[in-house]
Structure 1
Amino acid sequence: MALPTTTREYRLPKTDGIHNLTLTEAALPPLKSSEVLVKVHAVSLQYRDIVVAKGLYPLGMKDNVVPGSDLAGEIIAVGTEVHGWSVGDRVCSNFCTDHIYGNTTEEIKLTALGAPIDGVLTEYKVLPAHALVKIPSHLNYEEASTLPFVSCIFDFGNNRKASLSHRCAAVTAYNALMGPIPLKAGDTVLVQGTGGVSIFGLQFAVASGATVIATSSSDRKLEVAAGLGAKHLINYNKTPDWEQEVMKITDGRGVDHVIEVGGPGTMLKSVQCTRFAGCINDIGFVAGAGDVNSLPGLILGRAVIFRGILIGSRTQFEDMNRLIVENGLKPVIDKVFAFEDTLAAYQYLESQQHVGKVVVRVSKD
């Protein structure tokens, strides 16, 4: 079968809103010896995609960019020097194509798909072979597309909140819980909300034998968390002093790990319900502004480890997939849209009515 020479792809000729998403056709670049050509089957969206479309992404983006960073697809051609990959292999790409192992660098950040370089909302994508990760066999393409994403919310003022995602929600949660102080059976984990990172953190914690406390403003979303194994549920609208409730649940000890997505608006409460020398994994700023003047003293007083999470490597992605396979974990998908309905998918994501991930099905076969 002849290889495609063109691809339909979305671009953003302007960046003042998601309405600028434009479906167009482009020639595929020639395949280099170290690259592969991937037929894109599915792309999962993240709030970073909305931020990029609105021109609010602060880490740099090219003009007329192809958005999207999280794909699952099938290799249909390999370069002459590619080893370990074959036509027909099912793959994801790491968020930053050049982040293979270790800590991130400024150079690595410039290889982030869907902003500094063209992304994956396209029918076919040329990728460096070193960026690829094998899809777990029990996941379909839509499910696998959710594996590359991290969501961080930044408050730009004037009630405009924008979310910056630097990597896979799953890898972010894995990095948080399996980092310098790895989660272990018997630990207690506090998960804030039911977004992509929090849901994956909940699943990984339960799979590792930990007890999960989940917070949300919605009883409906808390029911989802309970179905995934959360043992304790707190509606923070009904229980505004939720940090005190967490301390009651843990008999005054506090939790071992916090998936902190609230930012300044929740950090003080998180510290107050973390055990001495526990770990707060700072991922987002969804709760907006807050008074954090006393935060340094609280962190010192409880000897808390406060860790920022940024960009996961391909090797972490591979380690995470082994945990997913061993426990048969399945990502939570809220809704799947057709490629031609990508704008509707963006609109649904922007509405924040979803629980779990929003996915675009690119290929029809």
Structure 2
Amino acid sequence: MVKAIRIGAPATVDSLAVDTLADPGDPGPGEIRVKLGASSLNFHDFAVVAGMIPAAAGRIPMSDGAGIVEAVGEGVTDYKAGDTVVSLFFPDWADGAPPTSAFTRVPGDGIDGYAREVVVAPQSWFTRVPQGWSSAEAATLTCAGLTAWRALFVDGTTQPGSTVLIQGSGGVSVFALQFAKAAGARVIATSSSDAKLDKLKALGADALINYKEEPKWGAKALELTGGRGVDTVVEIGGAGTLDQSMVATRVGGHVALIGVLAGFAGPVQTALLMAKNLRVQGLTVGSRAQQLDMIAGVEANGIRPIISDHFPLERLGDAFRHQIANAHFGKIVVDI
């Protein structure tokens, strides 16, 4: 038998319950059997378990999963027993434009996820991990790491001398800070917590804005760039912060819209959008090819994830409570 966590009905954090599943057995052709070692929390996962994103009753949550290959099926060439692997957010998106099916088959959402001990799945649902990384470290990459990578280097053109603004100190923002600094960019970091700003500075942030003290932080970012504006904003707030992000961005700049923490909908200053010739682009994680590019970049630069907290699988609900209390810095990992 295999231990797993399921979402109850109605879906709430309090409805999460331990269940046992039949062992999935040996992998078939093209499949691998993975003993999962860790998952990590993202806002998307919270939205599913809290009922904000509808999911089937009894769904096994968590989009991120990493672990050790226990066995491989016929025809598997990418992995062997003993390899560490990490999951994809979009199992059906290999490269190029995402297929329509990708958005309906996210683990922990459209299909069962990785809050379980063992999974048997196609080898294409996973990639290798950065050399020397543990399962706990690797599990931070699937959603948060790849989102930050795509915002800066796939949809954006971050390079030495660029200026990037990050919001807060969650997983995506901290990865964006690490990636941008590795690329030789300048980073402006915002937070409502001076203690967290100090931690962001220790990771390399060049300038800091406490947005409670500077509610018009977009203008402050302009000031910090000598009136030019930043090249890219990694926008996690959504409707509630988009206007300030547009103020902060240079003419012809890029706002990577990756989150909705401050609102799902609201008015947009279309005149400002037009006057600055801005590109506001929504994005949802990325492809398998992009994940492999990110892993190569992580290895080349010696980057390691920032993990603030660990919870055992049985305490997944407590991990989410810790997340929504905003008590973490970087990533929260669930050890399986």
Q: TM-score range by the shorter chain?
A: over 0.9
Aligned CA distance change for structure 1 residues 289 and 94 (closer, same or farther; 3 Å): closer
Contact 1:36 1:79 in 2 (8 A): yes
SS of aligned partner of 2:187: strand
Question: Does 1:345 find its partner at 2:319?
Answer: yes
Which residue, 173, 194, 199 being the options, matches 2:148? 173
Report the CA distance shift for 1:291/1:130 in structure 2 as closer, same or farther (over 3 A). closer
The separation in 1 between residues aligned to 2:325 and 2:248, in whole angstroms, is 31
Once the 2 structures are TM-superposed, how far is the Cα of residue 111 of structure 1 from its aligned partner?
1.8
Distance 1:41 1:199 in 2: 23
- Counterpart-to-counterpart distance in 1, 2:155 and 2:311: 38
Percentage of identical aligned residues: 37
TM-score (norm 2): 0.96
1:54 aligns with 2:50: yes
Where does residue 228 of structure 2 map in the other structure? 253
Q: 8 Å contact 1:15–1:52 — kept in the other structure?
A: no
Say whether the 8 Å CA contact 1:138–1:328 is kept in structure 2.
Answer: no
In structure 2, C-alpha distance between the alignment counterparts of 1:65 and 1:290, rounded to whole Å:
27
| Residue 100 in structure 1 maps to residue 94 in structure 2 | yes
Match of 2:70 in 1: 76
Instruction: Report the CA distance between 1:350 and its aligned residue.
Output: 2.4
- Taking the aligned partners of 1:266 and 1:359, their CA distance within structure 2 comes to 27
Task: Check 1:291–1:10 CA distance in 2 against 1; reply closer, same or farther (3 A cut).
Answer: closer
Q: Return the offset for 1:289.
A: 6.9
1:193 is matched with which residue? 168
C-alpha separation in 1, matches of 2:80 and 2:248: 49
2:22 maps to which residue?
27
The within-5 A match list for 1:133-148 is: 133-148=127-142
Q: 1:69 touches 1:95 (CA, 8 Å); kept in 2? A: yes
- The equivalent position to 1:307 in structure 2, one of 277, 281, 299, is 281
Question: How far apart in 2 are the matches of 1:193 and 1:344?
Answer: 22
Q: In the alignment, what sits opposite 1:228?
A: 203
- What one-letter code is carried by the residue in structure 2 that aligns with 1:172? T
1:282 to 227, 247, 257: 257
Report the alpha carbon displacement of residue 290 of structure 1 after superposing the two structures with TM.
7.7
**Correspondence 1:45 to 2:19:** no
Question: Segments of 4+ in structure 1 off by > 4 A?
Answer: none
Q: Distance in 1 between matches of 2:32 and 2:213?
A: 52
- Given that 1:337 and 1:361 are in contact with CA atoms closer than 8 Å, whether structure 2 keeps it comes out as yes
Task: Please give the secondary structure, in 2, of the residue aligned with 1:264.
Answer: helix
- Considering only aligned residues, what root-mean-square deviation do their CA atoms show, in Å? 1.5
Residues 24/177 of structure 1: CA separation in 2 closer, same or farther (3 Å cut)? same
What is the one-letter code of the residue matched to 1:16? A
Contact residue 34 and residue 68 of structure 2 kept, 8 A? yes
Which SS does the other structure have where 2:154 is aligned? coil
Question: Aligned pairs, how many?
Answer: 335
How far apart, in 1, do the equivalents of 2:178 and 2:107 lie? 26
Write the mapping of 1:213-224 to structure 2, written as runs, cut at 5 A. Answer: 213-224=188-199
Aligned residue in 2 for 1:273: 248
Gaps of 5+ in 1: 1-5, 149-167
User: Are the structure 2 counterparts of residues 194 and 304 from structure 1 closer, same or farther at C-alpha, using a change threshold of 3 Å?
Assistant: same
Q: What does residue 302 of structure 2 align with?
A: 328
Identify which of 32, 35, 54 aligns with 1:36.
Answer: 32
5+ residue gaps, structure 2: none
Whether the aligned pair in 2 keeps the contact of 1:41 and 1:361 (CA below 8 Å) is yes
* CA-CA distance at 1:342 after TM superposition: 2.4
- CA shift at 1:291, angstroms? 5.7
